[in-house]
Every structure is written in structure tokens, then in C-alpha cells.
Structure 1
């Protein structure tokens, strides 16, 4: 799981970047899945 936002301020810089990157990848993945499901006619 991702650290919650309150804790991100306590992390070392590299870990902050990783957490942001993971969050970005996760949201991008969700968007891709939503598009794919729309194309296939499914609803999440």
C-alpha cells in the first residue's frame, strides 16, 4: 500500500519520489482500465 499523505512528508526524498510515481502509475492504470472497459462495453 502507498504511505498516506500525512506520512510522505517524513520520508526521505527518494521515497517521496517513489511514492508519487506509484500513485501516478496507479491512477494511470485505473484510467487505462476504465478506457478498456468502456471500449469492451463493460462498466466498473
Structure 2
């Protein structure tokens, strides 16, 4: 399956509904701190 043509916003929307995924949203000009206790993968998506 090739996902290179799928929009980033669609990938994020799908992943955010999966079990084991937490979504933290920073509004424009808002600083957000995310703390994790691994193992974890942190993606910063600016879209």
C-alpha cells in the first residue's frame, strides 16, 4: 500500500483515533509541553 498520495491531515486524523495514541493540539501561538515515559514516538506535525 502506497501512502505517499494520502494527505498529511488525513493520516493524522486516522492515527489520532487509534488505540494507544494521544493527540495534543497547540492552537496558533500557543506553547504546549508534552511529557512521555517511553518507549514512545513523538511526531510534530505542522500542517
Question: TM (normalized to structure 1)?
Answer: 0.30
More helix by share: 1
Structure number with higher relative contact order (C-alpha < 8 Å, ≥ 6 residues apart)? 2
Q: Which has the larger radius of gyration?
A: 1
